[in-house]
Chain A
Amino acid sequence: MTELLQNLIDGIGRGSIYALLALGIAVVFGVMHLLNFAHGELITVSGYAAFWGLDAGWSWLVVVPLIVIVSVVTSLVIERVAFSRVRGADQFTLLLTSFGVHFVVSALFLLYVSASVRNFPRPEWGTNTYSVGSLNVEVFDTVVIAVTLVTLAGVTWLLQRTTFGLSLRAAAEDFDTARLMGVRSDSVIRGAFALSGLLAGIAAVFWLMRAGQTQPSDGIDPMLSGVLAALIGGLGSMRGAVIGGFALGLAEVLLRSRLPDSIANLTDGLVFALIAVLFIFRPQGIVSVPHAERV
């Protein structure tokens, strides 16, 4: 029982990061129908910002807001430079563009920075633990879960209580009709990319704190996790993206801890197999978006 609770906490901690990444992907997908495979590059760029900041002797207290700002700005720049030019294009073009951005960003770091891994110090408290009864809880997991919950509460408030949030939800449902209501397409798309960048930035802080290193190909894993979580949750649903993130994190941790050591390295494969089974029975993902109108 204790081990299961321990795994659940670990899974929720890991899933929190996936949830933030998936929510960022879902927000952009909602308004542009773009499955953004370049989302992970926000982690890559943030990773180098963290490395340079820490290398210059800055503390994590300074580097954390730097990472978030860099992620938001990078997201807006990518939208301006790449995606604004293919707005309204078919999904295949959007998909290719996002792959293009992904490869260009990692190639730029490869060419102009270095192919080698850059290490930086993890925060000192990152490995601290505390006990709750028989449970041994990492301070890091606690912080990740708490920050994620606060972030999700903030995003919920933004989406439910502000004109921007209302515009974003309307545009996610029917972009043309939202424009007919006066919602400015530029504002809502840039707002979506800024929000996506903010969520990726917060995820990047924890991703990088745990990794303690960065390299040009760093965007691939978070991108895959984020996209998978968004798909599991149900593409087009922001609530689904969050659920998908937690589900993926829990599945990874529970499988890794429960599988015999001899096949533990098959965890990722088994996670993919589980996802495939899910899509056979629920191709729309866990949450389906209702579009019911009775006549």
Chain B
Amino acid sequence: MLDVAGLTTAYGAITALRDVDVHVGSGEVVALVGPNGAGKTTLLATIAGLLAPSSGTVTFDGARVTGAPPERLLRAGLALVPEHRRSFANLSVEENLRIGGVTVPAAEREPLLDEMAERFPVLGEKWSNPAGYLSGGEAQQLAIARALMSRPKLLMMDEPTLGLAPVLVDAVFELIERLREDGRTMLVVEQAATRMLELADRGYVLRSGEVVASGTGAELLARDDLFETFVGPTG
């Protein structure tokens, strides 16, 4: 479904990604792990069209989409749940979801809203509240629900548990597990690397902008050296 080949992205003179190859097959859950500053967020931002790559290609669903703007990529079925959730704080929960479904025909938007309210009961309870007043866990659910409103073929998530209390981290992982059971194709950047690799079909380890290891979750988890070097102690 997604093929990233030889992707290089730079911020001015600083190269943040160097010749990165990543593949996500239909129905797969792929983890992207690595230490801070490895280029994980840059990779997702480049795939999603927020950053222009210096070289390399991004192919999505058979079409070359390198450098395409985010609004076009979303219409093609590629959604990103950004780092720090980035809910629209001044918009209500409902409005956040509506903006998530802006690419969906109006007639299909209402059933989708009902589905989200049912699937995420806490959002249904706070339907008219400004998103800025949600707790971190609620805001993360909103960010994921908002992305689901576009009915994406590929859901990318950037650090979905960042800054959350442990109990909320559990809730987010349960949510990712549920999405996996639904057959969602996902590419997830996650700090809780061990847990994410246990859940994922495959994973990539990034360091200093380069892919330094890839394989199934089990294969990567078996390599303690990777975690001690790049991610920190497992657990």
Q: Which A residues are within 8 Å of any B CB, using their own CB?
A: 163, 166-167, 169-170, 173-174, 176-185, 289-295
Given contacts A182-B150, A293-B134, contact A163 B102 (CB under 8 A): yes
Instruction: Report A-chain residues with C-beta under 8 Å of the C-beta of B74.
Output: 180-182
Give the distance in Å from the alpha carbon of A289 to the alpha carbon of B163 in the complex.
23
Give the distance in Å from the alpha carbon of A183 to the alpha carbon of B102 in the complex.
7
Are the C-beta atoms of A176 and B99 separated by less than 8 Å?
A: no
Binds A, one of B26-34, B75-83, B117-125, B177-185: B75-83
Given contacts A180-B50, A293-B139, contact A166 B132 (CB under 8 A): no
B202 contacts partner chain A, Cβ-Cβ < 8 Å:
no
Instruction: Report A-chain residues with C-beta under 8 Å of the C-beta of B95.
Output: 166, 169-170
Give the distance in Å from the alpha carbon of A100 to the alpha carbon of B130 in the complex.
39
Instruction: Report A-chain residues with C-beta under 8 Å of the C-beta of B70.
Output: 176, 179-180, 182
Instruction: Report B-chain residues with C-beta under 8 Å of the C-beta of A179.
Output: 49-50, 69-71
Q: Which of A170, A176, A180, A289 contacts B91 (CB 8 A)?
A: A170
Given contacts A180-B74, A182-B71, contact A291 B89 (CB under 8 A): yes
Are the C-beta atoms of B90 and A290 separated by less than 8 Å?
A: yes
Please give the distance in Å from A27's CB to the nearest CB on chain B: 15
Instruction: Report A-chain residues with C-beta under 8 Å of the C-beta of B163.
Output: 295
Please give the distance in Å from A273's CB to the nearest CB on chain B: 32
B86 contacts partner chain A, Cβ-Cβ < 8 Å:
yes
Q: Which of A170, A185, A293 contacts B99 (CB 8 A)?
A: A170
Please give the distance in Å from A210's CB to the nearest CB on chain B: 35
| Chain A residue nearest in CB terms to B96 | A170
Given contacts A177-B88, A182-B74, A291-B89, contact A166 B48 (CB under 8 A): no
1/0 contact string of B110-154 vs chain A (CB within 8 Å): 000000000000000000001011111001000000100010000
Give the distance in Å from the alpha carbon of A126 to the alpha carbon of B13 in the complex.
62
B100 contacts partner chain A, Cβ-Cβ < 8 Å:
yes
Give the distance in Å from the alpha carbon of A167 to the alpha carbon of B95 in the complex.
10
| Chain B residue nearest in CB terms to A167 | B102
B85 contacts partner chain A, Cβ-Cβ < 8 Å:
yes
Are the C-beta atoms of A289 and B80 separated by less than 8 Å?
A: no
